[in-house]
Amino acid sequence: MKRNIFLVFVMILIMSCCTLAADWVQIDEKIYLDALSLSPYNHHSNFDKDRLYSIWSKELNNGTEYWKNIEKKLGKKIWYDKTLNIVNCTKREIATKSIIMYDLKDKVAFNYEYNYLEWSSVAPETIGESIYTEVCYATAPKFRSDK
């Protein structure tokens, strides 16, 4: 009996551990942000006065040509990707720091870390704008602990 109680306790501990690993919040169809990963981003001195933040996003494969082309290049089916986004709230810009793609077995199929940030203006009605808005202007306290 004590062994069964111990096993139940261990299972609860393991399950609670895993659920605290990320807090995925849906921002669009099949696109999520990890609210727990939001943090100020420290970069080189030329951005000293800019408000920079990093946040992880997850995008599920929706079968579009974009995903089909990636699968063709990698030679395997891709389930989703995780991207580390850097957002410049001061200049309304966004950049990608790294990207990891996962196959159907939840194993890393591709991983790339960018050596420098290539900034893009945040265009209206895009996923970039959704990320920018959530990071820079979200009213939900779980997205902005420093507001």
pTM assigned to the model? 0.78
pLDDT digits (tens, 9 = 90+) for 54-79: 999 999 999 999 999 999 999 999 99
Per-residue pLDDT at 130? 95
pLDDT exceeds 50 at position 108: yes
Average pLDDT of the chain is: 85
Which class for 118: exposed (0-12), middle (13-18), buried (19 or more C-beta within 10 A)? exposed
Domains of the chain by start residue, with CATH: 22-137 (2.40.128.710)
In the predicted model, is pLDDT for residue 42 greater than 90? no
Q: What is the largest CA-CA distance in the chain?
A: 63
pLDDT band at 46 (very low <50, low <70, confident <90, very high): low
Instruction: Specify the residue for token string 């399950």.
Output: 15
What gap in Å lies between CA 46 and CA 117, rounded to an integer? Answer: 13
Q: What is the pLDDT of residues 116-137, one digit of tens each?
A: 999 999 999 999 999 999 999 8
Q: 14-23, 34-43, 106-115: lowest mean pLDDT where?
A: 14-23
Asked if pLDDT for residue 83 goes beyond 50, the answer is yes
State the Cα–Cα distance between residues 99 and 27, nearest whole angstrom.
18
